[in-house]
């Protein structure tokens, strides 16, 4: 083997190792609790309805991910609010909330 092939092989192995370490953390669900009007969701993931909730909806996002409030049902339409990690919000507008 010549030096170029060894360098290319080591580069490919290094890149694969870095991607293998980085990807699992970016695809994990939120850890913690999401509370919507006193209803607790542990390690939430996905879309939650807000249109059957008391208005305004009180959201406490005690997770490791942002929560996105959508104007439409089933997490459709534009995002009207973002509830950051470890923060709370009063939601007057929006019909659904998504946590990755």
pLDDT at 8: 54
pLDDT at 21: 43
Burial code (b: 16+ CB inside 10 Å, e: under 16) for 60-77 equals: bbebebebbbbeeeebee
What SS3 class is residue 56?
coil
Per-residue pLDDT tens over the stretch 30-78: 999 999 999 999 999 999 999 777 789 999 999 999 999 999 999 999 9
pLDDT at 27: 59
Per-residue pLDDT at 17 exceeds 90: no
Q: What pTM did the predictor assign?
A: 0.70
């Amino acid at each position: 083997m010549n030096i170029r092939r060894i360098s290319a092989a080591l580069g490919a192995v290094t890149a694969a190792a870095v991607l293998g370490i980085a990807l699992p953390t970016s695809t994990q669900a939120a850890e913690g609790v999401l509370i919507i009007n006193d209803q607790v969701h542990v390690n939430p993931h996905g879309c939650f309805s807000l249109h059957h909730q008391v208005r305004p909806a009180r959201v406490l996002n005690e997770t490791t991910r942002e929560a996105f409030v959508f104007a439409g049902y089933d997490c459709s339409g534009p995002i009207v609010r973002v509830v950051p990690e470890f923060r709370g919000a009063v939601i007057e507008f929006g019909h659904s909330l998504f946590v990755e």
